[in-house]
Amino acid sequence: MDGTTSTTNPSEVASVPAPSLESRTTIVAILISVFLMGAGMGVQGSAVSLRAGLEGFSESVIGIIGSANYVGLIVGSMVAPILIRNVGYVRSFAASASLGSAAAISHLLWISPVPWMVFRAATGFSLSVMFVVAESWLNSSSSSHNRGRLLSAYSVVYLVSMGAGQPLLAVFPASGVEIFGATTVLISFCLIPVTVMRVTGEPHTDSEPPRLVRTFMKSPLAGSGVIVAGIMTGATWSLAPLYGQQIGLDGSRIGFLMLLVSVGTMVLQWPLGWLSDTRSRRLAILWSIGVSAGAAALIALFQPTGVVLSVLIFVYGGFGMPLYSLSMALANDGFEPHEMVRAAGAIVIYYGIGSVLGPVLGSQFMRWTGPNGLFLSMALVQALLLGFVLVRIALIPVLPKRKTPFRLYPRTTASAFQMLRRPRSRRRTEGG
């Protein structure tokens, strides 16, 4: 029990107390709320991009509107711990969900670029606060023996939710009010599970100052990969609906393409993770960005349609979006578990910076070269990272042997990394 032996006693495992009913219902409530929240927020981003195009906003303005969402995410992640400490989990979640719901419907009340930037920043802020609440709440409601599995389940739920709401674009056109009403309803519904189910958990947040330079220098390739992952995610989710609109796709087709990004990520995440664990982290990153960049370049150069476009979007998202988790696995190899928790704030800021830059960069290329400029810009960014990977391999041919198992990391807030802590006995068994 004190972790002084080199193996885990089976009786110790058997003596681990089962989670209480309140803990189980708390976890279920949080995961349901996260799913509804992600579904509403995901389709809202697509709807805003499409409606902005219909209203005649320029590509540059639409890119800035998309970036404002991620600025709000960064600010919200800094404010959330203070809010949680003052008013607790339920009221923090309720207040941020209310703000997100109000911001969603406000797009219809004042259709103008500057107010929409404010509304998107408010949306990102509310989403970030809800993320911090959910992640720190899950951490306090779990034990050291199930935090890793819970982190993976949470990551999968959120990733699936981002694509789950996209088919609503086929039901409600972006030109009307219904799609914004639907997103408002979904975001409001995410309040129900955590407010009516029996939940427990004492507010607990850890505040570590971000160590931007030290964390990046520990693993420059991992830090660069996280930034590029942010650029891709921010640009894709903010501008891919606009790309579909500009090439003449209807709402159902655009929603299907956005769904393919999520499905591709889910399908190809684990094969790339297996390659990362069994062969090489850097080889897996090479495959990720190399294939994704190739798909983006084919879209940009040949302007495919129909089934070919669907396949290329699937490959682009399926290989490219796992870059974040692959970069995190590479970073995790160089950090001890307690160091990874301390570095989490810096990593989230890297990702946030990339997410802010992505929509601006992609929209500028779309303005210069047309709708295919989105994928041309992503191909160029990935090519730069590809070159950096090759340089790192040439300079450091062999990495240290230490590896931690690949997992699906949520691209949300630093609070999720609190669930990376492992039991003392397992740390001794695995050699630290």
Give pLDDT tens digits for 194-224: 888 776 666 665 556 667 888 888 889 999 9
Bigger pLDDT: 339 or 254? 254
380-412 pLDDT, tens digit each = 999 999 999 999 988 887 766 656 777 666 666
Residue 10 in any domain: the answer is no
Q: Which of 52-66, 94-108, 364-378, 418-432 has the lowest mean pLDDT?
A: 418-432
Number of domains composing the chain: 1
Rounded to the nearest 10 degrees, what angle do helices 220-246 and 337-369 cross at? 40
Residue 105 in any domain: the answer is yes
Bigger pLDDT: 316 or 8? 316
**With bands split at pLDDT 50, 70 and 90, how would you rate the model's confidence at 304?**
very high
Instruction: Please give the torsion angle defined by the CA atoms of residues 271, 218, 204 and 36, in that order, rounded to the nearest 10 degrees.
Output: -30
Q: Is the pLDDT of residue 34 over 60?
A: yes
Residue 98 in any domain: the answer is yes
Residue 432 in any domain: the answer is no
Residue 9 in any domain: the answer is no
198: exposed, middle or buried (Cβ count in 10 Å: 0-12, 13-18, 19+):
exposed
Residue 27 in any domain: the answer is yes
Residue 275 in any domain: the answer is yes
162-175 pLDDT, tens digit each = 889 999 999 999 99
> What is the average pLDDT value for the chain, to the nearest integer?
84
- pLDDT at position 337, please? 63
Q: Which of 55-59, 71-75, 236-240, 424-428 has the lowest mean pLDDT?
A: 424-428
pTM: 0.86
- pLDDT at position 277, please? 84
Q: Assign residue 47 the CATH number of its domain.
A: 1.20.1250.20
CA distance 389 to 397: 11
- pLDDT at position 246, please? 96
Q: Per-residue b/e over 333-370, b at no fewer than 16 CB within 10 Å? A: bbbeeebbbbbbbbbbbbbbbbbbbbbbbbbebbeeeb
CA distance 209 to 193: 33
For residue 123, what are the CA distances in angstroms to 36, 68, 208? Answer: 15, 9, 25
**With bands split at pLDDT 50, 70 and 90, how would you rate the model's confidence at 418?**
low
Residue 15 in any domain: the answer is no
312-346 pLDDT, tens digit each = 999 999 999 999 989 988 887 777 666 666 677 78
CA distance 221 to 272: 17
Q: Whole domain around residue 257: which residue ranges?
A: 21-196+210-421
- pLDDT at position 425, please? 41
- pLDDT at position 14, please? 42
